[in-house]
Amino acid sequence: MYDPAQGTTECNARCGSSFSDAYKPVQIQVTGDNDCTWNIVRPANETTRVIFSMLELNPSADCSQENVTVLDEDFGVLGVLCPNSPKITTFESPGKVYVRVFSNSASLTRTVYFLYYSVTPANTVKCGGNLNSYSGKISSPNYPDRHQPFTYCVWHVTTPKNTKAKLSFTEIFVEPDFACRFDFIAVYDGPTTDSPLKDVLCGRTVANLETSSNEFTLVFNGDYANSYFGFSVDYSAIPKTNNSSLSCSGDSMTVVINPNYIDSLGYNANELTLNDKTCAPNSANPVVFEVPFGSCGTVKKLQDHTIYYTNTIHASTVGVITRRKQLQIIVTCELESDSIAEIMYVTEDDIIQDQTESGKYDVSLDFYPTNDFITPVQESPYFIELNQSVFLQATVQSSDSDLTVFVDTCFASPQANFHSPNYDLIRRGCTKDNTYHNYPSGSGLARFSFSAFKFLNTHPSVYLQCQLVICDVSDVGSRCNQGCVTRQRRDLGSKVWKTNTVLGPLRLKHHNEPEAAGSASEKTEDVVKTDQSSLYVLGISVLVLNALIVAFVVLRYTRREPTGYRYHAVATN
């Protein structure tokens, strides 16, 4: 087993061994034609964590020929490690865990190393989390002091769109090992530990890495012995391509500029401002401007039903002459209904570069219990009575108070994928359901209601998909002011001008059967007792009459209803 003084592990754990220790490092070495399963025996009320930090299988084999399979105590598969899988992989499951190593006939040595232990409140270290920023620092717990045993941390980091992350490890001092089996730092090039493994670090060193996208995941693992100082890493966003990047949200735009580019022109971040000279960068390394739509000199322009927000980053110069290029970065967010086109112009005297991207408005659609639209419904699914009024509000998240929302189309389906049958509430602004009602809209919102229904054939749920249009209130010719359109207008432009929002499911409340039975038994006291034979004859007559009525109604309904859907008629009192 693992010796803290020597940093070694006993090899060749016997095929089929069972481990009952609270924690244990295990190294397995097998050759060809092996199929062995190791049993980790832990209490059912404890979570067992298994961390693989070495995986050396036959690189010429595929996963069907050679793999490591991890199973829970019910022999459910937690995961399968293949010859090309990342060597850093973690599994967690209550109680027992089984590790099966299967190899083909190739005569070479396979090596698998893992550490297992029970996760308890006593050994759980609070660390990791989700970080969303353009720069920051991540350190091991207690850094620069020693971290606790069984430290396991996962950080998920997101930088602005159209950037990538630059990581600078200023210090790494974790337990040294030739393969980083014991304590390690793993960097994944993506949002989860399923993303490609960028690098594994241990020992005493420094490192610099760059990701390929604006998301990365960092894992730190420390076993039960030989705790050192840990690590510290600074990360920052840099443009994914060229020297600068632009991204737009519903109420601002973010500009990230490579500081090396600014330095090459002879400027520094302190010399850069927006149109409003009081608006300086939010960060100097990287150089970041958070440009609001409603201030800092941002200019709003409305043209051809499209809204433009534009600002300029200037490099200030002092004196009569200069030997530095005049730098201007002109940034524009072009918003047409639900689409956002991001445009950037960088001018160095007569040199112009541009970038264009696309995005979406941030729009929400919520249920409300009453028509005062004060508190949204939090429960999901939302249980309601048949024919009960359903109130909804669509909201665009933006600081621009001149934006409004228009409900263009809203239809229902009994399935979340909106395959048929479908039922229209409103289509291209034209009301299709006689219970549909629009309420007066306000700044950045639209409100409407309808009476609850259900689909036939016992579908329990109703999902809604609504297509919403965002317009400027001063644009008299916008789609929001056109109302019901019986055919598609040709002057709407080539860009997509709707945003789809899905909400649901709605489900009908079920009446309590004992209560219904009780009320029925109370009514039987008032029923006049009738001879059994008379009741039998009367019952047969009623059934025949009902069958004729139903057949007549169905025939009329199917002849009048040419569409391919059916829905439950609204009940009346």
245 touches 162 (CB < 8 A): yes
Residues 44 and 92 in one domain: yes
CATH number of the domain to which 60 belongs: 2.60.120.290
Q: Output the six-digit token pair for 494.
A: 């080539």
Tokens 């025949």 appear where? 544
Beta partners for residue 100, in sequence order: 37, 69
**What is the pLDDT at residue 337?**
63
Cα 487 from Cα 428, distance rounded (Å): 8
What CATH number does residue 319 fall under? 2.60.40
Whole-prediction pTM value?
A: 0.65
252 near 337, Cβ under 8 Å? no
First vs last C-alpha separation in the chain: 77
Select from 283, 216, 213 the least CA-distant residue to 254.
283
- The number of domains in the chain is 4
Res 241: pLDDT:
77
Looking at the structure, tell me whether residues 76 and 117 fall in a common domain: yes
Which pLDDT score is estimated for 548? Answer: 47
Backbone angles phi, psi at 59, to 5 degrees: -65, -15
Same domain, 497 and 371: yes
| % helix, strand, coil for the chain, step of 5 | 10, 45, 45
372 found inside a domain: yes
Are residue 370 and residue 325 in the same domain, yes or no? no
Same domain, 368 and 350: no
To the nearest 10°, report the CA torsion of 74, 76, 79, 80.
Answer: 100
Q: Which domain holds residue 373?
A: 363-508
Same domain for 188 and 108: no
The answer to whether residues 54 and 181 belong to one domain is no
Are 208 and 268 a contacting pair, CB within 8 Å? Answer: no
CA dist 180 and 88 (Å) reads: 10
Contact 172, 207 (CB under 8 A): yes
Last residue of a domain, one of 314, 340, 360: 360
Q: Of the candidates 319, 342, 360, which is a domain's last residue?
A: 360
User: 212, 213, 214, 245: which is closest to 353 by C-alpha?
Assistant: 245
Same domain, 380 and 502: yes
Q: What is the mean pLDDT of each run of 10 residues along the chain (573 residues)?
A: 41 80 92 92 93 94 94 94 91 95 92 93 90 94 93 95 93 93 95 93 94 96 91 94 82 88 86 92 91 91 82 72 69 72 59 50 83 86 84 84 87 80 90 92 87 77 84 83 73 43 63 37 36 42 47 42 38 36
Q: CA 90, CA 107: separation in Å to the nearest integer? A: 28
338 and 397 part of one domain: no
Q: Two tokens at 534? A: 């008379």
d(CA 538, CA 536): 5
Does residue 130 lie within any of the structural domains?
no
Regarding whether 504 and 367 lie in a shared domain, the answer is yes
* Assigned token pair, 400: 């621009």
- Asked whether 165 and 210 are in contact (CB, 8 A), the reply is yes
**pLDDT value, residue 174:** 93
Burial 246-279, CB ≥16 within 10 A → b, else e: bbbbbbbbbbbbbbebbeeeebebebbbbeeeeb
Asked whether residue 572 is assigned to any structural domain, the reply reads no
- Strand order from edge to edge, sheet including 18-19: 18-19, 35-40, 97-102, 67-72, 77-81
Tell me which amino acid residue 194 is.
D
**Could you give the CA distance from residue 524 to residue 522 in angstroms, rounded to a whole number?**
6
DSSP letters for 336-349: ETTEEEEEEEEEET
Same domain, 36 and 76: yes
